[in-house]
Homo-oligomer: A and B are copies of this chain.
Amino acid sequence: MSVDYEIFELGDFRLQGGATLRGCRLAYKTFGTLNAAKDNAIVYPTWYSAQHDANEWLIGAGRALDPARQFIVIPNMLGNGLSSSPSNMPEPYDGPRFPQVTAYDNVSAQHRLVAERFGIERIRLVTGWSMGALQTFHWGAMYPDMVERIAPFCGSAKCSRHNFVFLEGVKAALTADAAFADGWYTAKPAKGLRAMARVYAGWGFSQAFYREELDLKALGYSSLEDFLIAFWEGFFLPKDANNLLAMLWTWQHGDISANEIYHGDFRKTLGSIKAKAYVMPGQTDLYFPPEDSQFEVAHMPNATYVPVPSIWGHFAGGPGTNPKDVEFIDGKLKELLKS
């Protein structure tokens, strides 16, 4: 079977939490060519539940992320089923025994990929949606002298308490299914995955999105129930439950200051991000509300608050779901790259 990605072997990868992922693998895909000066690299981490292919909507000829000019690296998040994950890790760290992985761990691994495999010392831009934004903030905070620009969109530098609670609901719905069996399922816990999808549905798009019936009028579903089944249940059902829970833990514990560099001082960490930053929340995002982005920008030395004017909720930054939002984000990335 041919695949469209490559593997970087991390060897025995020690995690913040104390576990070691032996034979840890980082899956990634690149676009374009690294130039001789090695100064055209863009890192573009993946989002919750997704793999690299779900990032490709933002890449293309004429786009800010143009393979003709940039060298774009999409590293797959640990737990996403391609990089080391509950679903592909050999015993004894398989399934629900997969250890807790932080965004810090992810970005440490990505840094090794970028530095060791490609010899890159400066990164032109790190950008990403949602949990990709979380990793983007980590890049800025962990490697302030390496990262020239960051553009986190529809995400945060630290999982807010409300966001944490939203995810508790998602997790509880998935794990309420007896078929989940504490993660030792032999068949897919479909009822739990469907329940999780329905919980997610109310959060993913805004009240206004549903009020304007954009599920029908813009996305073409035939009814609200069709949207819930075909879009939402269809989205989560193919995914591995333990993978989803591993990434959910990573999300809930995301915090750029939760490491030995910054010792939990969130404001200081924001202040240490030297990169020129466009922080782009979705204006109607229900779990990454703009107020949290405003707080971040206020404490970053070189950041601009750039809300995405959209009623698509979290999906303002979604995987190319709304063309108008894609244009907005792409335009802002071009602006940032020129500056």
Contact = CB atoms under 8 A, between A and B. Distances in A.
Interface stretch (A51-59, A68-76, A143-151, A168-176): A168-176
B291 A211 contact: yes
A160 interface: yes
Nearest to A225: B168
Contacts of A287: 202, 207
Interface stretch (A80-88, A193-201, A330-338): A193-201
A162 B211 contact: yes
A210 B162 contact: yes
A307 interface: no
B173 A210 contact: no
Copies of this chain, tallied across the complex: 2
A261 interface: no
Interface residues on A, range: 35 or more
Given A173-B173, A176-B176, A195-B173, A201 B161 contact: no
B210 A168 contact: no
A7 interface: no
A235 to B, nearest CB: 14
A224 interface: yes
A183 to B, nearest CB: 15
Interface string A135-173: 000000000000000000000000011101110111111
Contact of A160 (B162, B164, B210): B210
Nearest to A162: B210
Contacts of A254: none
Nearest to A289: B207
B172 A169 contact: no
Nearest to A165: B202
A187 to B, nearest CB: 14
Nearest to A286: B286
Interface of A: 160-162, 164-166, 168-179, 191-192, 194-195, 197-203, 205-211, 213, 224, 228, 286-287, 289, 291-292
